[in-house]
Structure 1
Amino acid sequence: MANSPTGDSVLTRLDRVLSTFSAADSLLSAAEIARRTGLPPATAHRLCRDMAELGWLEALPAGYMVGTRLWEMTNRSAPTMKLAVRARPYLSDVHTVMGQHVQLGVIEGHEVLFVDRLSAREAPRIHGGVAGRLPLHVSATGLVLLAHASPEFRTFYRTHHQKDSPGPIISEERLEQVRQQGYCAQTGVIEREVTGVAVPIRQRGRNVVAALGVVTDDDDVARRPAPWVQMLQIAARGIQREISGKS
């Protein structure tokens, strides 16, 4: 139901408010939220106040932050969070051995959404974090997901999305190579001299539902990815058993 001068529904306005927050901007005043959303100041103030009362936002003297209600409901019911919880022990095993960034990604829209990541102190500084997104074709994790998507999705993505994003143009031959070899390894697409390696995670041995990757500046990985791929594949099979054997 739309009850605003612009015709936006209540849900649309709530989504616009929540979308203004990010890791860099975790605390915003109602006036700043109004400016970023384009909502009238009075409407933004009222929405923020009501959302704070329900726990969607947290009211602080300096402004508002995302509240615990959203975190609570996401962890309780979201399939991606259930996947992250079941995958975490396997990410921990890989992280203990490799001592680098280890991450779990899923397709969200036309991007890779990183639902979990473990990082080491000596690991290189990289873009994004948990709940961060990247175009599918610029990270090894995303490229694995793109390679195993439907032909229709791949064609649409390559036609409409990768041209406007950073990174190389990905051919269908490159995606076929990723599918055939069972992993993706690429260096220097986002950060120079940083290599990403990723493998698919399947549900019940069929559909690829996620990808498990490692990101490192270890030169040896770019030259010899096989040992890293093997370790990731062992962990991926463990995750597959978890998500296929339990509801």
Structure 2
Amino acid sequence: MGEETDRNTVLGKAVTILRAFAPDDQVVGLAELVRRTGLHKATVHRLVGELVGNRLLDRVDGGYRLSGGLFELGMRASVERSLLELAMPFLQDLYERTHETVHLGIRESAEVVYVAKIGGHRQAATPSRTGGRMPLHCTALGKVLLAHAGPELRREVLAGPLERRTPRTIVASGILARQLDEVLEAGVAFEHEESAVGITCVAAPVLVGGTDAVAAISVTGPTTRLRPEQHVTAVRAAAAGLASTIARRRSLPGGAP
């Protein structure tokens, strides 16, 4: 459900090349970039040279890799950076209380974007990563954010198709709709092996102004160890604390996020 890139423009082609890098890629060769993007070899060769010149790609043995310049640009994203700065004390406190993986996520279109991930030596092997995305319907973070989104997005997501990530992913719109109603009543959402086998999760919305979910916080762990119901109070408290901090910041002149 991600946004489409206009491949008819130079900028669109450059973005297509950057997005061709997968999360686990170390180095990608020119021929592989041509294959992944479907762009002409001469076009890819010219654009990767310009991306290297602008510190968005590095030229290394065997091909290219994403450059630190992209990280610098990402850290300048004011909304996410301000949110992370305000949230970090609450995320760290929640981790100390649970010693399980803690996430902070925001919604972009029909996906949840992971702004932060904190985990210790025994953190579960989750599919999440900082800066990564997942569909709203298969994560606790996503379901919380979807439940508090506008009716138009809710109708769009429920109209499907709902991607099946595991055998337990909810792909029936009626069941998902009932869960979203329960989220609004309970104030938290649960995930039971819906994004990855062996993973369970509980999330709460960061509500500013009563109903505006600017973000969500979750605790995630393996089904063999984590009982998400036991962490409802802690997750709610972290989300409420962050919401209060954001509300106070917004009340100040020029406040953000």
TM-score by length of 1: 0.88
Match of 1:3 in 2: none
Counterpart in the other structure of 1:243: 246
- Tell me the alpha carbon deviations over residues 79-111 of structure 1, each in whole angstroms, 9 at most, x when there is no partner: 223322321221111112211110011112211
CA distance in structure 2 between the aligned counterparts of 1:206 and 1:190, rounded to whole angstroms: 26
- Pick closer, same or farther for the CA change 1:193–1:55 going to 2, 3 Å: closer
The yes-or-no answer on 1:91 pairing with 2:88 is no
Aligned residues of 1:31 and 1:44 also touching (Cα < 8 A): no
Kept in 2, the 8 Å contact 1:75–1:82? The answer is: no
Instruction: Give CA-to-partner distance per residue, 1:113-151, whole Å, 9 cap, x none.
Output: 111101122222121211222211111111111111111
**SS of residue in 2 equivalent to 1:185:** strand
* Contact kept in structure 2, 1:48 and 1:57, CA below 8 Å: yes
CA distance in 1, matches of 2:87, 2:66: 26
Please list the CA deviations of residues 158-195 of structure 1 after superposition, one character each: whole Å capped at 9, or x if unmatched: 10242x43311243222111111100123222344432
Greater Cα offset, 200-209 or 90-99? 200-209
Partner SS for 1:171: helix
Contact 2:189 2:204 survives alignment (8 Å): yes
Would you say 1:190 and 2:198 are equivalent positions?
Answer: no
2:53, 2:111 → 1: CA distance?
33
Partner of 1:132: 132
Structure 1 residue 66: Cα displacement: 1.4
Deviations 1:49-83 (A, max 9, x none): 11111111122232211122221122113422332
Structure 1 stretches (4+) deviating beyond 3 angstroms?
190-193, 218-222
Amino acid at match of 1:229: V
Identity among equivalent pairs (%): 29
CA distance in 2, matches of 1:49, 1:171: 46
Q: How many residues align?
A: 239
Counterpart selection for 1:209 from 210, 214, 239: 214
CA 78–28 in structure 1, closer or farther in 2 if over 3 Å, else same: farther
Change in CA separation of 1:175 and 1:58 when aligned onto 2, cut-off 3 Å: same
| Structure 2 Cα separation of the partners of residues 188 and 165 of structure 1 | 11
Q: 1:58 to 1:240 in 2, by over 3 A?
A: same
1:180 and 2:185 are equivalent in the alignment: yes
